[in-house]
Amino acid sequence: MVANERYIVLFPENMPLDAGAPLLCAGITVYSPLKYFGFAEPGKHIGIVGLGGLGHVAVKFAKAFGVKVTVISTSASKKDEALEHLGADSFLVSCDQEQMQAAMNTMDGIIDTVSAVHPILPLIGLLKSHGKLIMVGAPDKPLELPIYPLLMGRKMVVGTAIGGMKETQEMIDFAAKHNITADIETISMEYVNTAMERLAKGDVRYPFVIDVGNTLAATKP
């Protein structure tokens, strides 16, 4: 494949193609708002909602920026993964009213990676005055947006998606410098239909990456 160099991202030598590939989507989607909204600096406190393909990468980038990170999830079973594997500073179960109440007005910003319909009022309550709730997930139905909590704290709900070529190259270089890659499940081309079935059932932890090279090599006569 031949492409104009303007649209090419150069991978540093220490960046693996398989675990680096999802960064071109998930990585830049969370890196860009961290930079744009001023959360890529020590001393900030960021919440990450959801610990899937976007969320786990968001934790890695935020920690590399020196930010305090709280993972917010409906599932308490993800606590060890968030704290031990990804290095988050704290963990909130969003359906635990006591935990959520204790964390109110403590976060500078929240990156919401959830693509299912969910209430955002509890998340707005976690924000300090002037805090920002950044939506990067894409629910297929409208969410209810309460206005009064925004008025009282001059809070914002914003959306963002991916980034430009210059910023994507910056993100890849930063990821290589800090040894950030996506956690992946590598599959062969023959497994694609099964992978799609698993995706439909929600039986997916991290991004699927198709090993095209080995698949092609295995089919050669």
- Please check whether residues 89 and 131 belong to one and the same domain: yes
Q: How far is CA 72 from CA 47, 53, 82, in A?
A: 7, 15, 9
**Token pair of 64, please?**
């590399």
- Please check whether residues 192 and 102 belong to one and the same domain: no
Q: Tell me, rounded to whole angstroms, the distance of Cα 85 from its chain centroid.
A: 15
Domain presence at residue 111: yes
Q: Indicate the number of domains in the chain.
A: 2
Q: Are 186 and 49 in contact (CB under 8 A)?
A: no
pLDDT at 218: 66
Q: What is the pLDDT of residues 179-201, one digit of tens each?
A: 999 999 999 988 999 999 999 99
Number of CB atoms found within 10 A of residue 185's CB: 13
Residue that wins the pLDDT comparison between 218 and 114: 114
Q: What is the pLDDT of residues 161-177, one digit of tens each?
A: 999 999 999 999 999 99
Confidence bin at 121 (pLDDT 50/70/90): very high
Domain presence at residue 8: no
**Token pair of 72, please?**
């917010």
- Please check whether residues 124 and 204 belong to one and the same domain: no
CA distance 46 to 195: 32
CA distance 64 to 54: 16
pTM for this prediction = 0.92
Residue-number span of the structural domain to which 196 is assigned: 184-220
- Please check whether residues 148 and 213 belong to one and the same domain: no
Q: What is the pLDDT of residues 130-150, one digit of tens each?
A: 999 999 999 999 999 999 999
Domain presence at residue 9: no
Supply φ then ψ for residue 133, to 5 degrees.
-100, 115
Alpha-helical segments (H) within the chain: 17-20, 26-36, 53-64, 79-80, 97-102, 121-126, 148-153, 165-177, 192-201, 212-219
- CATH code: domain of residue 43: 3.40.50.720
Number of CB atoms found within 10 A of residue 172's CB: 22
Q: Tell me, rounded to whole angstroms, the distance of Cα 68 from its chain centroid.
A: 15
- Please check whether residues 173 and 190 belong to one and the same domain: no
Strand pairing class (107-112; 45-49): parallel
Domain presence at residue 3: no
